[in-house]
Amino acid sequence: MAASTPPPLRAFLPLALLLAAAIVSPAPTAACPRCRSPRAPPSLPRLIRPLHMQAVAAADGGGGNSTDAKPFAAHYFAQELDHFTFTPNASMLFSQKYLLNDTFWRRPSKGGAGAGPLFVYTGNEGDIEWFATNTGFMFDIAPKFGALLVFIELDETTFLCLLLPWMINEQHRFYGESQPFGNDSYDSPQTLGYLTSTQALADFAILIRSLKKNLSAEAAPVVVFGGSYGGMLASWFRLKYPHVAMGAVASSAPILQFDYITPWSSFYDAVSQDFKSESLNCFSVIKATWDVLDERGSNDKGLLELSKLFRACKTVKYGYSIRNWLWTAFTYTAMVDYPTPANFLENLPAYPVKEMCKIIDGFPEDADILEKAFAAASLYYNYTGDQTCNQIEDEDDPHGLGGWQWQACTEMIMPMTVSNESMFPPSTFSYDERSDECFQSWGVRPRPHWITTEYGGYKIDKVLKRFGSNIIFSNGMRDPWSRGGVLKNISSSIIALVTEKGAHHLDFRSATKGDPDWVIEQRRQEVEIIQGWIDQYHQDLVETSP
Q: Supply angle C-alpha 139, 331, 387, rounded to 5.
A: 80
Distance CA 377, CA 306 (A): 14
Residues with Cβ within 8 Å of residue 87, at least 6 apart in sequence: none
Map residue 171 onto helix, strand or coil. strand
Q: What are phi and psi of 151, to 5 degrees?
A: -120, 120
Burial classification of residue 517, based on how many CB atoms lie within 10 Å of its CB (0-12 exposed, 13-18 middle, 19 or more buried): exposed
DSSP assignment of 230-269 equals HHHHHHHHHHH-TTT-SEEEEES--TT-STTTS-TTHHHH
- Annotated active-site residue in 479, 507, 510, 515: 479
Known catalytic residue at 505: no
Q: Among 536, 537, 510, which Cα is nearest to 523's?
A: 510
Please, where are the H alpha helices in 160-247? 189-192, 197-214, 229-240
- Annotated active-site residue in 52, 399, 504, 505: 504
User: Residue 433 is which amino acid?
Assistant: E
User: Residue 446 is which amino acid?
Assistant: P
Distance CA 344, CA 352 (A): 13
Q: By the 8 A CB rule, do 136 and 56 touch?
A: yes
Question: Do the bridges between strand 166-172 and strand 93-101 make them parallel or antiparallel, or are there none, so unpaired?
Answer: antiparallel
Q: By the 8 A CB rule, do 15 and 33 touch?
A: no
Known catalytic residue at 109: no
The catalytic residues are 228, 479, 504
